């Protein structure tokens, strides 16, 4: 009987004997050791039913690995884990045959050879003592698969807050018409020049806030980056506050802001030099310092300055207002020239206010006495009734003076000129009381006293304005209004002039 060999269920079987015929042969698989009668066989091997056959699968083992990656800033540690891999082999079944070549089938298994504690020890050996995420390590190892995960996380330093600068100036130079508060457009104000008064806040900044210290994986303190600073530098005619957080003007003029790197430099130019005519192309000029116009001022234009105004050319049909004086070297035609600031036109009020305030004070004293006497006598009269009797018999000058004040205020307002609020309030109230029938309805003297306070305030403001002696010097003037709190001088023999001081 001819021999046969076969593989079933991973086992090798042989049949037949040398006496009965030629034995079967096998060629072993390289991954499985074939032992016949205790001897390892290689190459073609004859087998009979009387042989003792043993199979020893080879096991290939690839150890696992731990690779640690630490970020440059020492804030993160990533662990790459490779599990242990074992490969064993089993024979593939084969039907009975006289000769077969054994084939194997690989069987791969993986295992995680480390415990959580072993990984913790590994990290500490590498110098990581802070921010270890033990829960992540436990979860990852429990999956039994390789991969990369975050094993430790440091505490980064806090982000600082930089200083924040807010420049409060709206620098001119656009050449665009100004928009009035009512929404209309002033095509004569082209916003070419910016000016500010003394004490104007030019810029402010918020203080910086330092960040919190961080902690590296090695346990070292990591300082935060320094917050960015933006120093203020005071140039000419400006001053920085003691805390360095704001800058103001030390005088009126044109503000200039420059930035050099992180440093802001501020300065005020006190004189505005306008080297051309003031016309529709340039727009009217309003400036907080001195103004020098090298050309002429055209009809319908205006030049206003808190300081002194000097005009080299002529002025025709224009309005010129200088706080500290006006000098016009050319001819002046049909214009308004004022010196002494916004209150120069109010000089004519001074005598009237002095007389009205004095008489009004006396009238209120007498009015109060009459009211108190009536109470003591058992009969009561109102403040309005008492005042009516006094005005009709003792203080007859009040009504005409109030009427004169009302008319002057009306003219000033129609001309669009400035009025102190106190003067406007006092004029309105006194006109209601003394020039209408509302006097009778006054129950108490209190509203009258409030009006007296406004009169005194207006009088004081006018005295302050008149104390500023601002002169006007004109080469020649015709058919113009000239008002000054100082002296007015002109040299044309043909001048037609109205002026007050």
Name the CA radius of gyration of the chain, rounded.
53
All residues at 6 or more sequence positions from 438 whose CB lies less than 8 Å from its CB, including other chains: 432
411 shares its domain with 286:
no
Q: Provide the 3-class DSSP secondary structure of residue 79.
A: strand
**pLDDT tens, residue by residue, 106-144:** 999 888 888 999 999 999 999 999 999 999 999 999 888
Residue 494 region by backbone torsions, left for phi larger than 0, else alpha for psi between -120 and 50, else beta: alpha
Q: Measured between alpha carbons, how far is 282 from 193 in angstroms, rounded to an integer?
A: 10
**pTM, rounded to two decimals:** 0.49
What is the pairing mode between strands 285-287 and 302-305?
A: parallel
Domain annotation covers residue 358: yes
Same domain, 200 and 264: yes
**Structural domain harbouring 487:** 272-340+469-500
Same domain? For 173 and 276 the reply is no
Both 143 and 29 in one domain: the answer is yes
- pLDDT score at 457: 87
- Tally of CB atoms within 10 A around 124: 11
**Residue 351 and residue 335 share a domain:** no
Cβ-contact 206, 163 below 8 angstroms: yes
Domain count, the chain: 4
Distance from first CA to last CA of the chain, Å, rounded? 152
Cα–Cα dist 427/356, whole Å: 11
18 shares its domain with 143? yes
| CA atoms 124, 126, 131, 134: torsion sign | negative
- Do 189 and 88 belong together in one domain? no
CA–CA–CA angle 144, 149, 152 (5° rounding): 120
- Same-domain pairing of 8 and 149: yes
Please report the pLDDT score of residue 174 as a whole number: 54
Domain membership of residue 159 (yes or no) is no
pLDDT of the residue at 498 = 45
Give the count of alpha carbons within 13 A of 84, CB side only: 9
Query: Cα(372)–Cα(381) distance, rounded to whole angstroms?
Result: 9
Tell me, yes or no, whether 224 lies in a domain: no
Q: Measured between alpha carbons, how far is 36 from 87 in angstroms, rounded to an integer?
A: 24
Co-location of 376 and 483 in the same domain: no
pLDDT, tens digit, 9 for 90 and up, residues 199-234: 889 999 999 999 999 999 999 999 999 999 999 999
Classify 206 as helix, strand or coil: strand
Residues 73, 148, single domain; the answer is: yes
Shared domain for 318 and 370, answered yes or no, is no
- The reply to whether 363 falls in a domain is yes
Give a yes or no: residue 67 inside a domain. Answer: yes
Output DSSP code: residue 120. Answer: H
**Which stretches of the chain score pLDDT less than 50?**
172-173, 179, 185, 187, 190, 493-501
> What is the token pair recorded at 371?
């009211």
């Amino acid at each position: 009987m001819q021999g046969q060999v076969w593989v079933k269920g991973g086992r090798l079987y042989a049949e037949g004997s040398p006496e009965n015929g030629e034995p079967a042969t096998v060629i072993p698989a390289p991954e499985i050791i074939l032992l016949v009668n205790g001897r390892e066989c290689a190459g073609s091997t004859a087998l009979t039913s009387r042989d003792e056959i043993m199979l020893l699968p080879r096991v290939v083992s690839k150890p696992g690995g731990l690779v640690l990656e630490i970020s440059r800033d020492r804030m993160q540690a990533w662990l790459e884990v490779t599990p242990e891999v074992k490969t064993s082999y089993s024979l593939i079944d084969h039907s009975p045959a006289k000769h077969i070549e054994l084939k194997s089938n690989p069987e791969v298994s993986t295992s995680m050879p480390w415990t959580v504690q072993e990984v913790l020890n590994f990290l500490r050996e590498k110098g990581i003592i802070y921010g270890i995420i033990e829960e992540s390590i436990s979860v990852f190892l429990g999956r039994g698969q390789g991969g990369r995960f975050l094993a430790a996380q440091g505490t980064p330093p806090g982000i600082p807050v930089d200083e924040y600068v807010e420049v409060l100036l709206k620098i001119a130079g656009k050449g665009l018409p100004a928009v009035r508060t009512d929404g209309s457009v002033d095509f004569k104000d082209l916003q070419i020049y910016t000016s500010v008064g003394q004490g104007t806040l030019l810029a402010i900044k918020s203080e910086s806030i330092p960040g919190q210290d961080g902690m590296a994986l090695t346990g070292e303190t990591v300082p935060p980056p320094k917050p960015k600073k933006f120093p203020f530098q005071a140039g000419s005619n400006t001053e920085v506050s003691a805390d360095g957080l704001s800058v103001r003007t030390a005088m009126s003029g044109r503000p200039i802001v420059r930035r050099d790197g992180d440093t802001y430099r501020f300065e005020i130019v006190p004189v505005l030099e306008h080297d051309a005519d003031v016309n529709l192309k340039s727009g009217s000029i309003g400036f907080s310092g001195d103004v020098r116009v090298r050309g002429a001022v055209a009809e319908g234009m205006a030049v206003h300055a808190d300081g002194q105004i000097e005009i080299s050319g002529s002025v025709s049909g224009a309005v010129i207002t200088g706080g500290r004086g006006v000098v016009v070297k050319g001819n002046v035609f049909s214009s308004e020239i004022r010196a002494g600031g916004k209150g120069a036109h109010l000089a004519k009020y001074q005598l009237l206010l002095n007389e009205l305030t004095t008489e009004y004070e006396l009238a209120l004293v007498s009015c109060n006495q009459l009211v108190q006497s009536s109470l003591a006598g058992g009969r009561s009269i109102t403040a309005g009734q008492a005042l009516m009797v006094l005005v009709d018999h003792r203080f007859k000058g009040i009504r005409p003076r109030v009427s004169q004040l009302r008319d002057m205020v009306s003219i000033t307002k129609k001309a669009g000129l400035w009025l102190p609020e106190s003067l406007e309030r006092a004029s309105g109230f006194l006109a209601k009381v003394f020039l209408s029938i509302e006097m009778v309805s006054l129950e108490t003297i209190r509203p009258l006293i409030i009006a007296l306070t406004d009169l005194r305030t207006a009088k004081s403001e006018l005295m302050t304005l008149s104390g500023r002696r601002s002169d006007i010097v004109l080469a020649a003037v015709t058919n113009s209004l000239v008002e000054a709190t100082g002296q007015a001088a002109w040299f044309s023999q043909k001048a037609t002039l109205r002026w007050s001081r």
